[in-house]
Amino acid sequence: MLIIKSILFFFIFLSSTYIGILISNKYKNRVKDLKEFKSFINIINTKIRYTYEPIGEICEDLSKMSDSNIGKLFYKFGFLIKDKSITKSWEEAIDEYGENFSKEDKTIIKTLGRMLGKTDVEGQASELEQFQEFLKMQIEKAEKDKQKNEKLYKSLGMVIGLAIIIILI
């Protein structure tokens, strides 16, 4: 009976710790995705300025550079843009693959879809540069959130596991 109880307690502790780690990874993934998104926006800006490629082709090329959520997001956008408007395609791709973004991130990122394709090359380039500044601020916020919360949730998972074990003893 003691062995079964010990194994049960071990799995309770392990499970709660794992849940804490999963929650803390959301903060790490948010920072990673925002940084990758910013680098993709930089590439889009350069390609729009110098190659005059259509945005759909640029996004399909970008999607081949990464297997991450951001790569999939740009692939989905490049695919959807063939049949839908830029704004609707962008929002749908963000909703589907922007799972690591906060609500605020998604709101800011969705505004980009409303700007793309509305002006000439120089106008789009300046909009993308301005958008990169917004992304830079969001990355800084995400870094702060990560520093503050990542360790908290890992520790909280372990503490909750220990609390459950103590209650059950």
* pTM of structure: 0.83
CA distance linking residue 164 with residue 160, whole number of Å: 6
Residue found under tokens 């220990």: 162
Provide the pLDDT for residue 15: 94
pLDDT tens figures, 58-84 = 888 888 887 888 888 888 888 888 888
Query: Is the CB of residue 42 less than 8 Å from the CB of residue 130?
Result: no
Share of the chain above pLDDT 70, in %: 99
DSSP 53: -
Provide the pLDDT for residue 13: 93
Dig out the tokens for 100 from the structure. 């690591």
Least confident of 83-87, 132-136, 165-169: 83-87
Rounded average pLDDT over 87-92: 86
Q: Domain extents for the chain?
A: 31-148
Provide the pLDDT for residue 47: 84
- φ, ψ of residue 118 to 5 degrees: the values are -90, -20
pLDDT tens figures, 94-147 = 888 888 888 888 888 888 877 776 777 777 788 888 888 889 999 999 999 999
Query: Is the CB of residue 31 less than 8 Å from the CB of residue 150?
Result: no
Share of the chain above pLDDT 90, in %: 33
> Which residues have C-beta within 8 Å of that of residue 164, sequence separation ≥ 6?
12, 16
Phi/psi-derived region of residue 160, left when phi > 0, alpha when psi is between -120 and 50, beta in every other case: alpha
Q: Which H, E and C letters describe 92-139, residue by residue?
A: HHHHHHCCCCCHHHHHHHHHHHHHCCCCCHHHHHHHHHHHHHHHHHHH
